[in-house]
Chains A and B, each alone.
Chain A
Amino acid sequence: MTNKVAIIASNGGLFDAYKVFNIATAAAATDQEVSIFFTFEGLNFIHKEANGQLPMPDGKEHFAEGFKKANVPSIPELVTMAQEMGVKFIGCQMTMDVMGLEKEAFVDSIEVGGAVTFLEFAKDADVTLTF
């Protein structure tokens, strides 16, 4: 009864990151096979330096306190947790080339590929989400 969940992360804000990783870890905990394709600003989520300081949307900075109060895990923690649970990360090669980034700048054991790498996984996914 394993389902496949394919997620595209293409925006780089903190709220976007939570949407991506909450759904991804919840799906992995429910015995689903999950892959996330990180492209354009979404690549920041798995960038070792950037993912600890993702921006809040303009004017929403006051939510920082709410995040702390609700004891929400940090994005780097969620990244580690997702990987431990077998969520597969695919970094977009084209974006990395455009931004002049190497694979070493990202968290370990990501796969780097083009759109087709993701499409190959997503073609028979039961759930596909774009954030």
Chain B
Amino acid sequence: MSMEWRLLDLMVADCYTQMAIDEAIAYARGRKEAPPTIRLYRWKPSAVSIGYFQSLEDEVDLEACKRLSVDVIRRISGGGAVFHDYNGEITYSLIAEEGNRLIPADISESYRVICGSIIEAMRLLGLESEFKPINDIISGGRKVSGNAQTRRYGSVLQHGTILVDFDARTMFTVLKVSKEKISDKAIKQAEDRVTTIRRELGRPVSFEEVRDALISGFEKTLGIRLVLGQLNKAEGDLVTKFRERYASQEWLRLR
């Protein structure tokens, strides 16, 4: 019989809430106060997240974010800065206790295993993709998913993006990625390095379709059964507490 995990289905919320939920589940799971969980979500308003170790001022054009009503948040996971476009991205997170037999103890190996679920979801949608170490998934040589993992509270938390559509112009405006950003040439180059599900499949693909594929991808690859659930009371209280930290200037400007 396959193991049951909890599914927290496609949820729309702001960046502070989304990151607080991921951390709350990791905390609760480490104390066995929550089941292993797969979450799917979107960021509204669109937001920039930076990796734990990144310098805010090196990575983000705060003026541009303000002008475009894009939120900015620091993650507890390392990795790079990401523009989470409400209209172009689905994010997943996986939370399990450390030592779970489905998740390798070796971090690099666990990226490969967890990303295998995303690759399977892509395949179900009709898209060939592969894992590119350290933490990317590529299709036709172009990045379609970025992933980041942290281990704390006795849990493994991996979250990652799946690009459904790509707004290179806005991404270049809010991220300090290049000196001649928003030049047509820079946008063209970004579009050569990054791809999306809609572009690869050449047809409109709804978020619901991607969500269905992700659920099947996780179930099939990890050999689990996802059961629709919700946050429990303990997790809900933690979300309130963690959300406050994520929304604070002190946390945002940590590095």
Note whether A and B form a binding pair: no
Residues on A facing B (Cβ under 8 Å):
none
